[in-house]
Structure 1
Amino acid sequence: MAFNGSLPEINNGRLAMLGFLAALGCEVFTGKPVLAQLAGNGSTILTWVLLVTAGTAVPILRGIKNEEAFGPLTPERELFNGRAAMIGFASLLIAEAFRGSALF
């Protein structure tokens, strides 16, 4: 498997959407910044990464095309939301690095 095609971007986008939402929720409830959350939950994060990656890779590697909309959700919107989440997660890390504490 090469690092081209749709798999890397779809997978990273899905992981970024999950990661941003999880980081935001944990910050609101615990007050811990993202890096502190990552340091204390390595096995849980690895499990989610493996599950999302497997769930993304298996249909793509089997040649199943994701061209149908699911209500208002389309593959194009998923790509857009994934890209926004990647930028959002990176921005959250940068903002917390400059601030020195949790953003939310």
Structure 2
Amino acid sequence: MAAPSIFMATPLSGTQLPSFKRHSAFSVKCMSSQLPNDGKTAGSSSKTPESPPTPMATPPPPPRAPKVSTKFSDVLAFSGPAPERINGRLAMIGFVSAMAVELSSGQDVLTQISNGGVVVFVGTSVVLSLASLVPLFKGVSVQSKSKGIMSSDAELWNGRVAMLGLVALAVTEYVKGSALV
């Protein structure tokens, strides 16, 4: 049978209530002692030798993030960090620019492409792809710079929606036979 432990706590008065500030330090102190339970009466004076308290082990440091591969084949692999992000970024720029040109001139997407849009698209694709690949080849992970609303997951979802929007815009204009607006 285990020996009972005695815990001591100090009650708080109304003036000693803890403050719940964001960065306030909070500590708990607890004392424990074991009562001898060897069948003797409470008035007996025999004591059992106590072992010194064992120091608490410090927790291990958090594991480091795995090193990001900078190999060309890993960065541009099907499940790598670059393809979907680059396509999503191009789709976001493409959708916004297609809608802006359509609202300003009334041309549909296919007319925009046939009127010199291919050169602008290729130039934008090269610049945006290089700008997206340089940090990845330096070993910067996509998640390392994402916080709050501007997270890497939000960018992925915005890119996916823009890809669907660009395809839906082109199909709708093709079926309708004219510009959407």
Q: What TM-score, normalized to structure 1?
A: 0.92
| Higher relative contact order structure (alpha carbons within 8 Å, sequence separation ≥ 6) | 1
Q: Which residue of 2 aligns with 1:79?
A: 156
Displacement of 1:50 after TM fit?
A: 0.5
**Alignment pair present for 1:32 and 2:122:** no
Deviations 1:3-37 (A, max 9, x none): 42121100000000000000000000000000111
Give the equivalent residue in structure 2 for 1:91. Answer: 168
Q: Distance between the aligned counterparts of 2:77 and 2:99, measured in 1?
A: 29
Letter in 1 for 2:82: L
Match of 2:129 among 50, 53, 57: 53
RMSD: 1.4
Partners of 2:93 and 2:147 lie apart in 1 by 19
| Greater helix fraction, Structure 1 or Structure 2 | 1
The answer on 1:16 being equivalent to 2:91 is yes
Alignment match, 1:62? 138
Task: Give 3-state SS (helix, strand or coil) of 2:92's partner.
Answer: helix
Q: Which amino acid aligns with 1:60?
A: L
User: C-alpha displacement at 1:69, in angstroms?
Assistant: 2.6
Gaps of 5+ in 2: 1-72
SS in structure 2 of the partner of residue 77 of structure 1? helix
Cα shift readout 1:72-92 (whole Å, capped 9, x = no counterpart): 211000000000000000000
Q: Distance in 1 between matches of 2:180 and 2:92?
A: 18
What's the counterpart of residue 60 of structure 2? none
**What is the total number of aligned residue pairs between the two structures?**
104
Distance 1:99 1:38 in 2: 17
Structure 1 moving runs of 4+ over 6 Å:
none
Structure 1, unaligned runs of 5 or more: none
What CA distance in whole angstroms lies between the structure 1 residues aligned with 2:146 and 2:177?
Answer: 41
